[in-house]
Amino acid sequence: MPPRFAVPYPTRGSVLGEEELEALSDVVRSQLPLSAGTHREAFEEGFRRLVGSRHALSVTSGTVALALAVNLLDLRPGDEVIATPQTYKATVQPLLDRQVRVRFCDVEPHSLNADPASVESLVTDRTRAILLVHYGGLPADMESVMRIARPRGIVVVEDCAHALGALHHGRRPGALADIGCFSFHSSKNITTLGEGGMVTLRDDAWAERLDRMRSNESDAAFVPAPRRLADGDDPFPWMLHPGNSYTHACVEVRHAGTNATLSEAGAAVGLVQLGRLDALVARRRAIAARITAVLERYPFVRVVREPEGVRNAYHLYTFFLDPACGVSRNAFVERLVATGVEMQLRYFPLHLLPEWRARGHGPGECPVAERMWFERQVNLPCQPGLSDEHVDRLLAALETVLDETARGRPPAGPAPVPMRIPH
């Protein structure tokens, strides 16, 4: 049997209740289509207004959102893409299918977001895009990144999976660059019944292309046909077939389409969750404030600070240990696990994964990211589903281990429970 923890790592990053059940009941009773209907339209419009983007198109997952966003880049063999190594593998996974050079930038040691100086050092005349994440819910330094990208015509894709509910000088992630990708997985700040995603865009032509791809249409270029396929008007105007079937010819297929339609049930729940977003993020921030108040008492600990004008959505709570305290990060985490706190460390540096090592990447490429992951980084649960009792237990365990560390005592206590470290 799996171990039981006094402070579990919640499997849900949101909270579901009677409002979501009522929304699902309405969908079931409505007799309306369960795909591509009015709930999806309402969810997308509400999301677009919240983020402040020109377009918002829902899809079946954050991973699919990222894959379709990469399709829009129209990358060619030999092109280069700069990407952060400190994120979930889905951010860059679509690039494995393309004959492009991925250049992993290093990260800022105080935030784990992409370091603009490292990004700029990797730019060449072949750079076509920058893929970054707002790590843990803290928006990246977008002013600096966009100053690098804009004059060079480089497309910037924001992975906003952690950042729904964050603010960046009055604006929201997803509207800070060219394309934004969101996830509504069970672990995220809101959910659409376990899976779901959203792409936000400012470009009308890209939005049209993405809508075709998610709707099982080819991402293709069409021109008026020199002659009609049949005489007369379309004899079946009520049938579901492309409106240009009789009138246009295809001159280029960029990408095949896919059925990435978010279900009406998921969209209905997502719309309710969107209305609860502020309260859910407020709960995360309240838990984070209590954790920070404990950590700040110890000189060998560094917490992640919010720059002026920036609000952290706290999808993850991250802090860093100073190795000078004499206790390794691994020993510290094992001790916390032994006291009953379930831990997950996010994320193993992407450039060290086997599939990227096979593409020529390896140790030493991103020294700050490697040092922070292997020596200093600690993540704690801060999901809104944690009860006050859970948070009290977490803080008590944290103080116990921090006090032991401050006194220079080696980790002690029960045999540590093995950590689950998702790669």
> Is 399 among the domain residues?
yes
Is residue 57 domain-shared with residue 171, that is, in the same domain? yes
Is residue 190 domain-shared with residue 282, that is, in the same domain? no
Instruction: Quote the CA–CA distance of 81 and 124 in Å, as a whole number.
Output: 10
Task: Note the pLDDT tens digit of each residue in 196-218.
Answer: 999 999 999 999 999 999 998 88
CATH assignment of the domain containing 61:
3.40.640.10
**pTM of structure:** 0.93
Task: Note the pLDDT tens digit of each residue in 160-169.
Answer: 999 999 999 9
Q: Does position 291 have pLDDT exceeding 90, yes or no?
A: yes
Q: Does position 221 have pLDDT exceeding 50, yes or no?
A: yes
Lookup result for tokens 């998702």:
422
> Is 7 among the domain residues?
no
Q: Which of 168, 172, 188, 329 is catalytic?
A: 188
> Is 270 among the domain residues?
no
Instruction: Quote the CA–CA distance of 88 and 111 in Å, as a whole number.
Output: 16
Is residue 210 domain-shared with residue 291, that is, in the same domain? no
Task: Note the pLDDT tens digit of each residue in 26-37.
Answer: 999 999 989 999
Does residue 236 or residue 90 have the better pLDDT? 90
Instruction: Quote the CA–CA distance of 159 and 157 in Å, as a whole number.
Output: 6
**Which of the four pLDDT bands, split at 50, 70 and 90, describes residue 419?**
very low
SS3 136: helix
Which residues constitute the domain of residue 396?
277-407
> Is 415 among the domain residues?
no
Task: Note the pLDDT tens digit of each residue in 79-122.
Answer: 999 999 999 999 999 999 999 999 999 999 999 999 999 999 99
CB atoms within 10 A of CB 262: 28
CB atoms within 10 A of CB 21: 12
Task: Check if the beta carbon of residue 154 is closer than 8 Å to that of residue 128.
Answer: yes
CATH assignment of the domain containing 347:
3.90.1150.10
Q: Does position 250 have pLDDT exceeding 90, yes or no?
A: no
The sign of the torsion formed by the CA atoms of 116, 118, 121, 125 equals negative
The verdict on whether 89 is a catalytic residue reads no
Which DSSP state fits 295? H
Instruction: Quote the CA–CA distance of 75 and 83 in Å, as a whole number.
Output: 14
Give the percent of the chain with pLDDT over 70: 92
> Is 146 among the domain residues?
yes
- Which residues are within 8 A (CB) of 376 and not within 5 positions of it... i.e. 6 or more apart? 320, 321, 322, 323, 329
Which amino acid belongs to residue 155?
V
Burial class of residue 220 in the structure, from the number of CB atoms within 10 Å of its CB (0-12 exposed, 13-18 middle, 19+ buried): middle
> Is 307 among the domain residues?
yes
Is residue 307 domain-shared with residue 402, that is, in the same domain? yes
Looking at the structure of the chain, the number of domains it has is: 2
> Is 58 among the domain residues?
yes
**Which of the four pLDDT bands, split at 50, 70 and 90, describes residue 175?**
very high
Task: Note the pLDDT tens digit of each residue in 322-338.
Answer: 988 888 999 999 999 99
